[in-house]
Amino acid sequence: MKAAKQTPLLMCYGKTPYTPGSYLERALRNIGTPVDTVEKEVDFAKIDLGKYKAILFVESPARPPVVVANRNLVKIPVIHWIHHGENRLDTNLELVAAYRPDLLLMSHSLHLAPLFSTSVEFFPFGADPHIFRSDIPLPDRTIDIAFAGSHTSIYAERDANLRSMETSLSQRNCSFRKRPYLEKLSELYGNSKIVFNQTADHIKTFNMRIFEGMGCGALVLTDDTPEQSRLFQDGKHYIIFHSTEDLLEKARYYLDHLDEAAKIAAAGHKHVLKAHTYEHRARQLLELF
């Protein structure tokens, strides 16, 4: 017997290979949901809305926002997924006013939810196990601690901690200055014992690096943010540090006790694959409809 054909979803977002929207689009297709995409502008008077189950707008800061015309013609569910907090609040308030979603999905910063004139659901990032994976046992990995990310002024505290690790752990093999993406980033994390993560100085929002590090089977050593505890448990799935001294102490400890590091890293990896891949997010999205 043939499986019932699923109704397509229309995704509207500026696509890049590494935006969360691209991961989610791929995951929707992987679970059998057809997806049509619009990247620049959408006029709902020129679209057969009857063929779609819903419309999903996705925040994509690297591209101009999708321009919308004739939003009043849309009678199917409209959902908007945003990935930033205070640093793009004004822009996202404008986009919500333009897109008029029936439901707003937020990856974090739920304390901002009352500012939006629509219902809000927590919809965090996930891991793409087709990209972020590794078969190298943790003790056999050649990089002790890895980090990949920006070095702009909003990350002054993070940069200070990176410099502290470079000085205090100078005998260790660390990789802190590369900016790889996708498969190259997976290769870096997949050959690292520890993946270091720290958020911006004044905007504490947990990010994709946690999922990517865990997806590659590394021990994630991270600062704390409000929504993390909804998904992960400190000391079980990853390790949280609270100061520079705590960071250095925990980095040394787990590099000297790789059996404990491997146990926590394995638990984090298993937990992500069980509950926090983008296929899980895709199924969550369909349930919302």
Q: In whole angstroms, what is the distance from residue 48 CA to residue 51 CA? A: 6
The verdict on residue 289 lying in a domain is: no
Same domain, yes or no: 143 and 103: no
Residues 233-277: pLDDT tens digits?
Answer: 999 999 999 999 999 999 999 999 999 999 999 999 999 999 999
Task: Examine residue 280 and state whether it is found in any structural domain, yes or no.
Answer: no
Domain match, 111 and 212 both: no
Where in the sequence is the domain holding 248, given as residue range(s)? 138-275
Q: Name every residue whose Cβ is closer than 8 Å to that of residue 174 and which is 6 or more positions away in sequence.
A: 143, 144, 145, 146, 165, 166
Q: How many separate domains does the chain show?
A: 2
Task: Looking at the structure, tell me whether residues 99 and 194 fall in a common domain.
Answer: no
The answer to the question of residue 288 being in a domain is no
Q: Are residues 270 and 148 in the same domain?
A: yes
Over the stretch 108-147, which tens digit does the pLDDT of each residue have? 999 999 999 999 999 999 999 999 999 999 999 999 999 9
- The answer to whether residue 75 sits within a structural domain is yes
CATH number of residue 203's parent domain: 3.40.50.2000
Same domain, 153 and 233: yes
Q: Is residue 282 part of a domain?
A: no
Residue 76 token pair: 């199917």
Residue type, 217: G
Does 131 reside within a domain?
no
Percent of the chain with pLDDT over 90: 93
Structural domain ending residue among the three candidates 123, 147, 172: 123
Cβ within 8 Å of residue 143, ≥6 positions away:
173, 174, 175, 188, 191, 192, 193
What does pTM read for this prediction? 0.94
pLDDT (average), residues 163-168: 97
Find the DSSP H helices in the chain: 20-30, 89-99, 156-168, 182-190, 208-215, 244-256, 258-275, 278-288
- Check whether residue 99 and residue 38 sit in a common domain: yes
Output the pLDDT for position 260: 98
* 147 lies in the same domain as 256: yes
How far, in Å, are 13, 96, 120 from residue 103 at the CA level?
16, 10, 6
